[in-house]
Chains A and B, each alone.
Chain A
């Protein structure tokens, strides 16, 4: 099987790797790069556990090949918090009990992060629709919704204070 050389950035770090063309991005991130925070739950694009951000858009890394990301910039869950400090979104997941086993959580954090960056004032229904691309079998989604909603509210509050 032929291999390709790819160069990309993950969480600000450069990677130059040889990969077979059939290697999934999810496997590449976990196995070649050792970033095991990205999880794999179905490998057919339904559970959302493998979601990462590629060039500013949340994608399912089980539905992409690693070679497709040559030259791209990727962010994974490991790239969210800086110096051990949780981001406000992560902090709210903790406070609102938005996670139990935590297996679905990295994917949901990445989707939510991307979504909120593009839609700062979503309705609850819109948040639910966004979450419909993720399966969580532990929480019943209640804590997750509360955590994201709280982040939206805090962001709004922040915008108001900054604006005034």
Chain B
């Protein structure tokens, strides 16, 4: 049988999704007396709640109950979070609202229409307070305070020093610095949050169905908030999730809110978020200010970096934040060989929607200043940006490469990848074209970016937010465990159970490919179950769909579980054929002896014996075939006392070249061509790989040009519909060329690395570099996003050099 791993085979998920038979959260049945929820939300960014009048709303026929913050606090602890600041975060406002859209009351009614009617009759009296949304102003002494008991809007601060940055800066020919602002934006999956929650008083147990995809460490956070042992909180994730890109990790506060609503109302409840709620009050990426300084030699070599990063996590810091700041900690110096590094990391809270996971998580915020400064270095030293990148890229012979901050880049050939990007994009030719175009009054530009794409997070990295002393006082965290279970029924048919809660990434397909190769059975015969049930599935706190962990971790768990099944089958066959296991091979579901080809045994028979005739099994062997494998990579160690942390398991590489033209009349940025080179190790299914890359790139494009969750300076939210929050649609997509090189990861058994987030990290800065390059004659410097026509127009107007 021909192996299928590495082949672009079509997906097993597709038939059901194309025929309208997907099973998303809003498609699964509910218990007969399920009520529906509508949430009354704050229209103010910062206000104290004076009173909530619910009497009128309660009279609406069909209303089953209305609950407010005061009703729920008795059942709840504040959510725990990985910083020591005593922020009290509940899923509903108690005394004060801190962002527009924060839940204030929950109406429970017979159906959603009635719930909405009643919600309109709930009257909340507020006393407004001064709001703060500006990152740096929020840190000033006289800034309005969000959490009085914390005493400051700073939720966390840590400083790190690796190598010898002081000497690097002393010995540098020049110091080049700038301040960059990365905006708050989201990912807006087309399916919104959805929850069905049910409380059973007899067992004091909550069962929650939700399109929550982990990280499952949050299951314990939810159980803690609900004040119950964690095995009394059963979470069931449906087979299909309508996209997430990280955002649905933020479902958890609403899961707890619905759980309490079910308990108080005495019936199961269902809530499907609407789009306005999603934009204003689900989750988003962080906005960040970065002060970056580079110590450089005249030839463009970077000796050291200083970065002060300030992340805005919104009104409350909540799990898994402050991870946005630290997920990329090991790869802070990106694709460059820079041994000296200082990082000053702040987390602030302001009157905006709380943040969480988002595709690229931390990468786009990191690479925006880093790759912009590389271009600035070239500009100031009058070098070609490609040469500055070349001078600093990690050399191929240095892998596995140890970064300043503790990362271990497992494999790569960055120079080859970058040269391939330049060759594919015809960099030199474009430079000539650009010069000609400039003479004709056209505005052409080219942008480059090289980034490292981390995947498979080490659970230990979160604790880097604590000081070594604080860490020493608590239990260490490490690893990146993922589980898979494979069973074979008496007829030899295979079920695979995975815990990676996919939301469109095709995990069912790839898991079937891997099992098919190991067990040598057609992949069509393999049934993959992607639903996750915390009461019955094998899972770990690291389980879930985030940090591109399927290709590196999920696939490894599947691979080893399949090997356990194979071993058992071979043991059974060897016993019956009276030979050694290593004398046996599996070919198209038949087990044969290599030394005596007449000796054969069917896989079905081996499975049948395990179930039907356990007394025939080798001594000591358990009946049945049901194997679980828990996988973790050994390189996922906790941070050490010097704050060195290998925050991810595998590290891919992306090199981008993008060309743009700016219309001098409308200031619109048109992308002429986007070239992207990827090295994600061994590719498991190239069809799915390219699909992930397109999706990630277009999300990056959205971040560069269109998408922003905008607030005015008083904290009012401005982008509450898809008419205001602009997502890229088909006509906006440029020509995209994707190429791959494959340097297998030595860390994972299949050599694969995670992917799909790389261009979300690289595209915003690659495009910003191209636009900056285009606007060089106008002395315009791009240091914020998105690059809307309005922004470019204003920059052109204020530029000293006239456009005519």
Contacts and interface: CB of A to CB of B under 8 A. Distances in A.
Interface of A: 20, 22-23, 30, 35-44, 46-47, 49, 76-78, 80-81, 84, 86, 90, 93-95, 97, 99-106, 109, 125, 127-129, 131-145
Q: Can you list the 4 inter-chain pairs with the closest CB atoms, starting with the nearest?
A: A37-B20, A102-B17, A101-B504, A103-B242
B108 interface: no
11 contacts: A36-B20, A39-B242, A94-B15, A102-B240, A102-B504, A103-B190, A103-B504, A139-B694, A140-B733, A141-B694, A142-B694
A100 B504 contact: yes
A78 B695 contact: no
B475 interface: no
B18 A128 contact: no
Given A39-B190, A41-B190, A132-B730, 20 more contacts: A37-B20, A40-B26, A77-B20, A90-B18, A93-B18, A97-B690, A101-B241, A102-B18, A102-B504, A103-B191, A105-B17, A131-B731, A137-B189, A139-B691, A139-B695, A140-B694, A141-B730, A141-B733, A142-B690, A142-B691
Nearest to B272: A40
Interface of A is mostly: loop
B698 interface: yes
A101 B756 CA distance: 14
Contacts of B663: none
B694 A137 contact: no
A39 B721 contact: no
Nearest to B688: A97
Contacts of A125: 731
A137 to B, nearest CB: 5
B361 to A, nearest CB: 16
A134 B729 contact: yes
Contacts of A78: 19-21
Contacts of B113: 20, 22-23
B22 A128 contact: no
A135 B20 contact: no
Given A46-B723, A93-B14, A101-B242, A135 B691 contact: no
Given A90-B18, A129-B731, A39 B191 contact: yes
A161 B188 CA distance: 44
B151 interface: no
A105 B242 CA distance: 10
A36 B189 CA distance: 18
Interface string B236-261: 00001111010000000000000000
A124 to B, nearest CB: 10
Given A99-B18, A139-B695, A41 B506 contact: no
Contact of B190 (A36, A77, A136): A136
B687 A97 contact: yes
Interface string B663-693: 0000000000000000000000001101110
B793 interface: no
B31 interface: no
A76 B19 CA distance: 10
Contact of B691 (A44, A128, A133, A143): A143
Interface residues of B, number: 52
Contacts of B696: 140
Contact of B240 (A101, A131, A138, A145): A101
A129 B730 CA distance: 7
A135 B19 CA distance: 19
Contact of B275 (A38, A43, A81, A141): A43
A36 B10 contact: no
Given A86-B18, A94-B11, A137 B245 contact: yes
Which of B26, B504, B505: most chain A Cβ within 10 A?
B504
Contacts of B695: 100, 137-140
Which of A38, A135, A144: most chain B Cβ within 10 A?
A135
Contact of B19 (A42, A90, A131): A90
Which of A38, A94, A100, A105: most chain B Cβ within 10 A?
A100
A100 B505 contact: yes
B117 to A, nearest CB: 9
B722 A132 contact: no
B787 to A, nearest CB: 19
B189 A101 contact: yes
A137 B20 contact: no
B24 interface: yes
Interface string B559-586: 0000000000000000000000000000
A41 B190 CA distance: 5
A137 B736 contact: no
A90 B243 CA distance: 20
Nearest to B243: A101
A93 to B, nearest CB: 6
Contacts of A76: 20
Contacts of A42: 275, 721-722
Interface string B3-36: 0000000110111011111101011000000000
A103 B24 contact: yes
B191 A41 contact: yes
Contacts of A100: 243, 504-506, 691-692, 695
Given A101-B189, A137-B187, A139-B695, A128 B730 contact: yes
Contacts of B20: 35-38, 76-78, 80, 106
